[in-house]
Structure 1
Amino acid sequence: MFAIQAMASNSPFTEEICNLCADICERCAEECEKHEHEHCQQCADTCRNMSA
């Protein structure tokens, strides 16, 4: 939501905000991949797709 608001308002920080979101998704994916539960693997896949 924050990234969308930044884009909609033409914030000068949009790129940095989007990069931060991608970094958060990547770290989440790394953590979820450590667990064998199906829901953790699905979360990791979703996060990887979001940060790509």
Structure 2
Amino acid sequence: MARDSRFAEAICELCAEACEWCAQQCGAHDHDHCQACAKACRECVDTCRAMAA
């Protein structure tokens, strides 16, 4: 991002996709630690997508 890489947008979008998948997987479980992971991953999705825009 700081060096204005031509790949920055794609990398941020890939990170968002990975975190979205993780949120879905962890969110499917009722354990507190899984729900905490899903919440963190959803926040990461939002941040990565904002950076990719």
TM-score range normalised by the length of the shorter chain: 0.7 to 0.9
TM-score, normalised on structure 1? Answer: 0.82
Deviations 1:13-38 (A, max 9, x none): 10000000000010000000111110
Report the CA distance between 1:10 and its aligned residue: 1.6
TM-score, normalised on structure 2? Answer: 0.81
Question: Once superposed, which parts of structure 1, at least 4 consecutive aligned residues long, lie more than 3 Å away?
Answer: none
Higher RCO structure, 1 or 2 (CA under 8 Å, sep 6+) = 2
SS at match of 1:44: helix
Structure 1 regions of 5+ residues with no counterpart? 1-6
Structure 2 regions of 5+ residues with no counterpart? 47-53
CA RMSD in angstroms comes to 0.7
